[in-house]
């Protein structure tokens, strides 16, 4: 192994020079951004953001309305004030114009900070031989994923659905997260009904609550089940579409390739005329130019890390094509996300149909 002239210990013990502060400041920038990302998440998660969005409110009123400790709340709000997220006058706090701009982007903070914040922290423990994989907060992962999908995966899925002519009546969503995917479809497509299948308790409970909140129990049914057992026992009407939004790579990592083959075989046998829509990420590290862009480094690089350390097996686009062909399905259409949202073309949607019935 090559070594440098200076050892690690010598560098750590070197005297302070004129360059010390200049080198320290980029390190502090990482810490500041880390802390601010958590502060923004807490503003959203504790509903402080929603309260302040309506106007100026005192810390005392916020604490009373949201059942928060006043002294800790003051500490958080003062941090946010210095960071330019809130402003303060004699009447209380209000969101800054910058913070108000953040409203559509809540999902990214829910997903990465609320859902995978603990995962990032625990990588150092989990990476050791003999340790288990780090956990994730399924509730925040599902909420964040569905919020993000409002801008990328849901429009992408609707574009794939539009390829198939006719009036569509029933959609089954495997791995429905918090159910927002389905409530959005039902709001925008008045005649459609949906079944959401979710295997994680936290996500299932979030989805059930979300559907009740949106008063859509008559159009959306949430089922607590894994995908394969669900199809083995399902006796309802034939769905027009079966959706897999960022689900297959999780099945691949935790249950193996054979589970996907079994699942697709079951779908082809029972619903040969049903179209399948898969939305996944093109995990191609050879696309260095894309990964070095702001979207690549800001979204995909941390996303790839979350999936790698939680045993979720992302695949390249070509690998997904091979899996679909091996499982007996043909690709009817293939599309990527609107470049106004994501110019990377790394998120891809496939419209599939059982080959024998095309």
| Band (358; pLDDT cuts 50, 70, 90) | very low
Tens digits of per-residue pLDDT, 139-149?
899 889 989 99
As a whole number of angstroms, the distance between CA 327 and CA 358 comes to: 15
Amino acid 5: pLDDT: 66
Alpha helices, DSSP H, located in 20-94: 20-45, 48-53, 59-66, 70-82
Q: Are 70 and 58 in contact (CB under 8 A)?
A: no
Nearest Cα to Cα of residue 320 among 329, 307, 311: 329
Tens digits of per-residue pLDDT, 22-32?
999 999 999 99
Number of CB atoms found within 10 A of residue 168's CB: 18
C-alpha distance from residue 335 to each of 148, 188, 282, 307, 311 (Å): 18, 21, 12, 23, 26
DSSP conformation letters of 277-318: EEEEEB--TT-HHHHTSHHIIIIIHHHHHHHHHTT---B-HH
For the chain, the average pLDDT equals 92
> How many C-alpha atoms does 48 have within 13 Å on its Cβ side?
29
DSSP-based three-state secondary structure for 112? helix
DSSP conformation letters of 223-270: EES-HHHHHHH--SPPPSEEEEES-HHHHHHHH-HHHHHHHHHHHHHH
Tens digits of per-residue pLDDT, 290-301?
999 999 999 999
DSSP letter, residue 285: T
pTM of the model: 0.91
Q: What is the mean pLDDT of residues 75-90?
A: 97
CATH number listed for the domain at residues 117-357: 3.40.50.150
Nearest Cα to Cα of residue 285 among 304, 258, 272, 262: 304
Q: What is the mean pLDDT of residues 55-78?
A: 97
As a whole number of angstroms, the distance between CA 291 and CA 300 comes to: 7
Share of the chain above pLDDT 90, in %: 73
Tens digits of per-residue pLDDT, 232-261?
888 889 999 999 999 999 999 888 999 999
Tens digits of per-residue pLDDT, 159-214?
999 999 988 889 999 988 888 888 988 888 888 899 999 988 888 888 999 899 99
Domain boundaries, the chain: 17-101, 117-357
C-alpha distance from residue 294 to each of 163, 237, 317, 319 (Å): 32, 45, 21, 26
Pairwise pLDDT comparison (52 vs 2), residue with the higher score: 52
Least confident of 39-53, 86-100, 175-189, 322-336: 175-189
Q: Are 168 and 238 in contact (CB under 8 A)?
A: no
Q: What is the mean pLDDT of residues 271-290?
A: 95
DSSP-based three-state secondary structure for 191? coil
As a whole number of angstroms, the distance between CA 349 and CA 278 comes to: 6
| Band (231; pLDDT cuts 50, 70, 90) | confident
**Topology of domain 17-101, per CATH?**
Arc Repressor Mutant, subunit A (1.10.10)
As a whole number of angstroms, the distance between CA 343 and CA 259 comes to: 32
How large is the angle between the packed helices 138-149 and 153-161, nearest 10 degrees?
60
């Amino acid at each position: 192994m090559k070594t440098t002239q200076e050892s690690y210990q010598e560098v750590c013990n070197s005297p302070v020079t004129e360059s010390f502060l200049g080198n320290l400041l980029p390190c502090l920038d990482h810490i500041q951004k880390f802390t601010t990302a958590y502060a923004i998440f807490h503003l959203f998660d504790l509903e402080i953001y929603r309260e302040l969005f309506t106007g100026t409110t005192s810390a005392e009123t916020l604490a009373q309305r949201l059942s928060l400790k006043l002294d800790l709340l003051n500490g958080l709000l003062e941090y946010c004030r210095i960071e330019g997220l809130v402003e303060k006058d004699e009447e209380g706090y209000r969101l800054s114009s910058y913070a108000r701009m953040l409203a559509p982007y809540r999902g990214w903070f829910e997903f990465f900070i609320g859902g995978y914040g603990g995962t990032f922290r625990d990588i150092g423990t989990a990476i050791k031989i003999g340790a288990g994989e780090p956990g994730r907060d399924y509730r925040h992962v599902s909420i964040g994923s569905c919020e993000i999908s409002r801008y990328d995966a849901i429009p992408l899925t609707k574009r794939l659905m539009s390829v198939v002519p006719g009036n569509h009546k029933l959609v089954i969503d495997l791995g429905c997260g918090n159910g927002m995917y389905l409530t959005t479809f039902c709001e925008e497509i008045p005649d459609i009904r949906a079944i959401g299948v979710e295997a994680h308790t936290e996500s299932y409970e979030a989805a059930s609550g979300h559907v009740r909140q949106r008063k859509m129990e008559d159009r959306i049914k949430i089922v607590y089940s894994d995908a394969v057992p669900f199809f083995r026992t399902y006796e309802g009407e034939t769905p027009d579409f079966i959706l897999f939004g960022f689900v297959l790579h999780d099945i691949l990592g935790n249950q193996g390739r054979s589970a996907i083959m079994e699942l697709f075989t079951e779908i082809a046998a029972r619903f040969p005329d049903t179209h399948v829509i898969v939305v996944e990420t093109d995990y191609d590290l050879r696309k260095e130019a894309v990964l070095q862009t702001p979207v690549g480094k800001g979204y995909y690089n941390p996303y790839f890390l979350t999936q790698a350390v939680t045993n979720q097996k992302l695949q390249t686009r070509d690998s997904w094509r091979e899996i679909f062909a091996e499982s007996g399905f043909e690709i009817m259409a293939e599309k990527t996300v609107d470049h106004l949202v994501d110019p990377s073309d790394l998120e891809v949607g496939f419209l599939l149909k059982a080959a024998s019935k095309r």
